[in-house]
Structure formats: C-alpha cells, structure tokens
C-alpha cells in the first residue's frame, strides 16, 4: 500500500507520460520510499521493464523492494552481486524471488553495458534509472539510455529517480538543453517527511573545521580531489573525528565520509585503535566483501563504516545513527545525500546525529530549508546562514535568525570595536541590538518616504516640481507595497514558527541580506524588485 504522497507522485508520472513526455524525472528525497514507487509503477504498467542502478548496494536495495512486493525478477549484474542479492533474499524472505526469465529486471549499469545485445531489451516498455541526475547523453548512463532506446524502439518510456536533480558541473538535465529528461515531477520535501515521522529529525554539531580549503582549486564542480585529500592528510581531521565521536556518540552506529580512500583507511584504523570496530568501503571493494561488511554492520558487529562516496547516494540503512562529515564539499546535492544517511527511522532512534567537521552546514545552510527544484537552472532555495554556538561545551549548529542558541541559551555578543550603527554582518538584522539613534534615523527616513509630498523638493516649481512629485509618488507606492509584502511574510513566519519578533527580524535579514527598516528606505526600483522577490518566495512555500 502506497502512502498518499507516493500515490500522488505515481499519478503525476503517468499523467506526464500521457502528455507525451517520454522521459520523466521524479524527485523524492531520502526516506520518501522511491524504490517502493519504482516497483509500483513497474507493476502497474505490467509490461517488461528494467530498473538500473550504478552500484551493487543499490541493485540489492531495488531487488529487495521488488521482492517484498512479490515481483519475481531477473538480475543483470556480475555473478558475485547476484549471489549476494540472492543471499539477502533468503535472509529476508526465506526464499529467492530471482527469476532470470521474469518480465521485470534489476540491472547494474556497468553489467548492462557489457550485455547490450541482451534480447530482453527488445521487449522493454519501461526503463527506470536510480540516481538519475547522473544521466547525460555523453556519459555511460546516457549510453545505457541509447542502448535501451535502440533495442526497444520509440514506444519505450523512461523514468528517472533522484533526491537532488542538479549537477555540480552545472550541466542541464533537461532534454531541451542537452540533457535527457523531458519533464519533472516532485514528491514531498525533506522537512515534510520529518514532520510526519518518515524521516528522523536531527541534531547538528558544527565542530572545528580541520581541513583548510583556502586556495584549493575546483574540478568537476567540487574541490579538487587530490588537493583536498592532501590537505586532509596533513590536518588533524582523523583525530578530531574519532575524539568527537567518542565524546558525543560513543557506541552508536555511524558512517564517516572521508576526503579520499587513503583517508578513509586512516579513519578506520584510528577508530579501531580507539576500540571502535570499523571497516572501509570503496569503489574497489569486491562485491562479496561489500556484502560481508554491510551484513556485519547491520548485525552490530561494526560501529563505523568509513568511505568516500560509496554510501552517499541512495544507501538505505536505518541502523545508521551518526554521520561524521569529514569531507568539505561545495556540492549542495552531495551534502544533502550524505547528511540524510543518518535520518532513516528505526526502533529506538529519535534523532539522527550529524557531526560536521567540514564546515558544510556553514557553507550550505540546513538541508531541510524550503527548496523548489527545476529541470533547468539551479534550484530555488531559501538559504539561511548557520551559526555555531560559541559555548565550547555545546557547539550545536542553528540558523542565524535565532536570537540565541536554542539548545543552551548562549547569546553570542556582538563584535566589539564597531561604529554606533555597526554593520549588518555584525548585527545580523537584529533590531534589538541597533542603537536608539540608528533606529530613529531609519524610522525618520522611512516616514519621510511615506509622506505625501517630497520634503526635499519644496524649492522646485513648474515642470520640475511636477516631475519630482511623480517620482516621489512612485517611491511612496513602492514602499507601501513592500511594507504590505513584508507584513504578509512576517505573518506567515509567525504563524508557522510561533517565534518572537526578534527572531523574525533576524530571519528576514538572514534571507534577504537587509533589515526590515532599511528595506523600506531603498530606492523605488529596489523596493519593487524586493517586493516581487518576497512575493515569489511566498508562492513557493
């Protein structure tokens, strides 16, 4: 039985196909149950179909989901992967639902590239791709799409699945702009899933950033791997990760995301030296060894799995209680994927614990902020700067609009040595910390604009006076409209958050980079542009 939002998304997929969109990209965040909907779509269509994934762990997860629905299916993958998946079937169901003559198939991308002449492909009515933001016409995922289309013909439908439909290299996923996908359908947001209990909420600690990223070049949309690995090697990151795990999460099952395979090995050794059972997963880990490591982790024989990217995408293991982020990244999708590994609900798990050693929360904000995905262009998201509590015994991360740490009450004092008014960076839009003189000046300017006639144009006559009056009226109207929009924004914030006006002021600045009073003293065009931006944000909530 599908959840309501899963049924809704499934309906949107079929509607998009009916609108002649042959290849549809579906967005579901971690925990939304995308493999469940993937299986349901294939089952409803009832015709031969194939589900593709690029790693053995994901092939196994899709296969297990199909099996839970009673869907017998073939597996196209290396023999070791098939054997490991079959073992999972017997372990979970007491039997295997692998049927190499079945009408459904689950396949490894690399294995299918080697079996492009498989006659089963000619029968396909549907192909589905997990982690579909990887698909571009000129890479191996795109080559798979070409193989399937060539074999099955124009009638075959495509369906991609991803939690983060964007790429760090900036290339478009849209077919109109050089990508593959013709339309986009979106499921619930990460925060919505947390609110209804399908994801755990989280505790986030912003720990000292051990890896210096200054001067590191950007390659492929992220920090250069060789350079960031070298920086990590010469840093204190290994000791910091173990020390803070023992302080904050001792005994909890965790994963550590490292800068390189070499660093993952170092992390694992340090954990073991501290008495924490740990192993390493990398792209070079043999399938049988991977299966053994994951089984040991599920059974509680391991408490840490250290990796680079292997467990970042789509890996579903509710046993993960703590995530140590030891790899700085400028990729928002990668940050979200890694963050979410610790948020899958399980018995006795109230919160996921995120230990950020890489400054990623400061860099990207919290991952559950409102966000609107687009098939073309960067996502529209509300980014609020994250503050790290200055009390050393706390170090919790929270959004900067909070007037004080919501966990321990620490109120970070404003920086010393500033002018009477200070700067927005210092004051963070907190009007309670503005001097009375500054507030009086701002309010006088806002009132001056709101006046019926331009106070500084009394000496003008004739056409000049008329022009000044018209310009002033435009600015006054722009201010009135912006004031109304700010009131609507503030009303919505107070209704949904129930916070103080001080928190409202600070949050407004955190999002728009200007305090509410200063916003009402801008030029007419600036106020018009700001009103349109806030109205657009209100529509996207």
pLDDT tens track for 370-414: 788 888 877 776 667 788 888 878 888 888 777 788 888 887 655
- CA torsion sign, 191 to 192 to 194 to 198? negative
Say how many Å lie between the first and final Cα of the chain, rounded: 29
Rounded to the nearest 5°, which phi and psi values hold at 5?
Answer: -70, -30
Residue 235 lies in a domain: yes
Residue 402 lies in a domain: no
On the 0-12 / 13-18 / 19+ scale of CB atoms within 10 A, 296 is middle
pLDDT score of 258 more than 50: yes
Do 181 and 93 belong together in one domain?
A: yes
Do 138 and 244 belong together in one domain?
A: no
CA 283 to chain centre: 23
Which residue, among 524, 520, 505, has the nearest Cα to 442 in the 3D structure? 520
User: What is the share, in percent, of the chain residues with pLDDT greater than 70?
Assistant: 88
Are 126 and 97 in contact by the 8 Å Cβ rule? The answer is: no
- CA torsion sign, 366 to 367 to 371 to 373? positive
Do 71 and 25 belong together in one domain?
A: yes
Residue 219 lies in a domain: yes
Please tell me the predicted confidence (pLDDT) of residue 415: 47
* Domain extent for 43: 4-188
Residue 216 lies in a domain: yes
CA 458 to chain centre: 55
Q: How far is CA 350 from CA 271, 302, 338, 347, 394, in A?
A: 25, 21, 19, 8, 19
CA 428 to chain centre: 25
Q: Which helix (H) or strand (E) holds 514?
A: none
**Phi-psi category of 215—alpha, beta or left, where left has phi over 0 and alpha has psi -120 to 50?**
left
Q: Given 3-state DSSP classes, what are the helix, strand and coil percentages for the chain, each rounded to the nearest 5?
A: 45, 15, 40
- Which of 328, 347, 381 represents a domain boundary (last residue)? 381
Answer with the residue of higher pLDDT: 447 or 461.
Answer: 447
pLDDT score of 287 more than 60: yes
Do 374 and 451 belong together in one domain?
A: no
Answer with the residue of higher pLDDT: 372 or 140.
Answer: 140
> Over the chain, what is the mean pLDDT?
86
Please tell me the predicted confidence (pLDDT) of residue 313: 61
Q: How confident is the model at residue 435 (pLDDT cuts 50, 70, 90)?
A: low
DSSP secondary structure string for all residues of 338-399 = HHHTT----TT--EEEEEESSSHHHHH--TTS-EE--SSSS-EE----EEE-S-TTT-BEEE
Are 47 and 103 in contact by the 8 Å Cβ rule? The answer is: yes
The stretch 98-108 carries a mean pLDDT of: 95
Do 49 and 100 belong together in one domain?
A: yes
Residue 323 lies in a domain: yes
- Which of 188, 204, 233 represents a domain boundary (last residue)? 188
pLDDT score of 189 more than 50: yes
Q: How confident is the model at residue 422 (pLDDT cuts 50, 70, 90)?
A: very low
Q: How confident is the model at residue 427 (pLDDT cuts 50, 70, 90)?
A: low
Render pLDDT for 321-330 as a digit per residue (tens, 0 to 9).
999 999 999 9
Do 200 and 158 belong together in one domain?
A: no
pLDDT score of 521 more than 80: yes
Are 36 and 130 in contact by the 8 Å Cβ rule? The answer is: no
Residue 215 sits in a domain whose CATH number is: 3.40.50.300
Do 302 and 162 belong together in one domain?
A: no
Are 23 and 160 in contact by the 8 Å Cβ rule? The answer is: yes
Do 183 and 227 belong together in one domain?
A: no
How many domains would you assign to the chain? 3
pLDDT score of 192 more than 70: yes
Which residue, among 502, 491, 503, has the nearest Cα to 541 in the 3D structure? 491
Do 317 and 175 belong together in one domain?
A: no
Residue 401 lies in a domain: no
Q: Which helix (H) or strand (E) holds 24?
A: strand 23-27
Answer with the residue of higher pLDDT: 471 or 297.
Answer: 297
Question: 282-287, long-range: CB within 8 Å, 24+ apart, which pairs?
Answer: 282/307, 282/308, 282/310, 283/309, 283/310, 285/310, 286/80, 287/56, 287/78, 287/80, 287/81, 287/84
Task: Give the Cα separation of 175 and 24 in Å (integer).
Answer: 10
Do 90 and 213 belong together in one domain?
A: no
- Which of 354, 381, 408 represents a domain boundary (last residue)? 381
Do 458 and 533 belong together in one domain?
A: yes
Q: Count other C-beta atoms under 10 Å from residue 44's C-beta.
A: 11
Pairing of strands 157-162, 304-307: unpaired
Residue 76 lies in a domain: yes
Q: How confident is the model at residue 425 (pLDDT cuts 50, 70, 90)?
A: very low
pLDDT score of 305 more than 80: yes
Answer with the residue of higher pLDDT: 405 or 38.
Answer: 38
Q: How far is CA 82 from CA 107, 288, 291, 403, in A?
A: 10, 10, 11, 55
Cβ neighbours of residue 424 closer than 8 Å, sequence gap 6 or more:
509, 513, 514, 515
Residue 408 lies in a domain: no
> What are the residue ranges of helices labelled H in 94-205?
109-114, 140-152, 190-195
Tokens of 128: 């589905």
Task: Give the Cα separation of 157 and 181 in Å (integer).
Answer: 11
Choose from 217-221, 246-250, 293-297, 463-467 the range with maximum mean pLDDT: 246-250
Do 166 and 223 belong together in one domain?
A: no
78-87, 378-387, 403-412, 472-481, range with the lowest pLDDT: 378-387
Task: Give the Cα separation of 191 and 206 in Å (integer).
Answer: 20
């Amino acid at each position: 039985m599908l959840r309501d939002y899963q049924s809704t998304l499934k309906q949107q997929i079929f509607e998009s196909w009916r609108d002649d969109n042959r290849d549809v990209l579906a967005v579901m965040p971690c925990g939304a149950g995308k493999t469940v909907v993937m299986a349901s779509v294939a089952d409803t269509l009832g015709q031969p179909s194939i589900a593709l994934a690029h790693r053995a762990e994901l092939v196994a997860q899709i296969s297990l989901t199909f099996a839970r629905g009673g869907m017998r299916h073939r597996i196209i993958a290396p023999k070791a992967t098939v054997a490991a998946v079959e073992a999972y079937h017997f372990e979970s169901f007491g039997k295997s639902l692998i049927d190499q003559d079945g009408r459904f198939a689950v396949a490894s991308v690399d294995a299918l590239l080697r079996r492009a002449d498989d006659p089963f492909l000619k029968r396909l009515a549907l192909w589905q791709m997990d982690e579909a933001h990887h698909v571009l016409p000129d890479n191996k995922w795109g080559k798979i799409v070409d193989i399937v289309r060539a074999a099955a013909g124009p009638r075959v439908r495509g369906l991609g699945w991803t939690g983060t439909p964007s790429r760090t290299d900036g290339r478009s996923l849209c077919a109109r702009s050089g990508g593959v996908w013709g339309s986009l359908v979106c499921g619930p947001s990460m925060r919505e899933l947390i609110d209804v209990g399908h994801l755990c909420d989280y505790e986030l600690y912003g720990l000292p950033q051990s890896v210096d990223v200054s001067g590191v070049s950007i390659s492929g949309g992220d920090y250069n791997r060789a350079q960031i690995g070298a920086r990590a090697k010469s840093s204190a990151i290994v000791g910091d990760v173990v020390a803070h795990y023992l302080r904050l999460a001792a005994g909890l099952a965790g994963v550590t995301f490292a800068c390189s395979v070499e660093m993952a090995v170092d992390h694992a050794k340090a954990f073991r030296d501290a008495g924490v059972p740990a192993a390493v997963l990398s792209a070079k880990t043999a399938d049988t060894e991977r299966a053994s490591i994951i089984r040991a982790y599920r059974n509680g024989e391991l408490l840490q799995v250290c990796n680079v990217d292997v467990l970042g995408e789509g890996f579903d293991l509710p046993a993960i209680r703590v995530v140590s982020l030891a790899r700085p990244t400028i990729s928002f999708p990668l940050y979200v994927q890694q963050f979410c590994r610790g948020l899958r609900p399980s018995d006795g798990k109230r919160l996921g614990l995120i230990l950020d050693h890489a400054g990623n929360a400061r860099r990207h904000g919290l991952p559950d902020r409102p966000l609107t995905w687009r098939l073309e262009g960067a996502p529209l998201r509300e980014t609020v700067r994250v503050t790290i509590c200055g009390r050393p015994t706390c170090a919790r991360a929270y959004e900067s609009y909070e007037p004080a740490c919501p966990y321990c009450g620490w109120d970070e004092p404003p920086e010393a040595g500033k002018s009477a008014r200070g700067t927005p960076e210092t004051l963070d839009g907190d009007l309670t910390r503005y001097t009375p003189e500054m507030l009086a000046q701002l309010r006088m300017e806002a009132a001056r604009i709101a006046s019926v006639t331009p106070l500084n144009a009394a000496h003008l006559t004739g056409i000049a006076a008329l022009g000044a009056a018209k310009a002033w009226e435009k600015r006054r109207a722009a201010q009135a409209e912006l004031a109304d929009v700010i009131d609507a924004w503030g009303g919505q914030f107070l209704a949904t958050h129930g916070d103080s006006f001080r928190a409202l002021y600070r949050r407004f600045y955190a999002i728009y980079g200007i305090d509410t009073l200063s916003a009402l003293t801008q030029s007419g065009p600036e106020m018009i542009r700001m009103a349109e931006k806030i109205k657009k944000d209100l529509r996207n909530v």
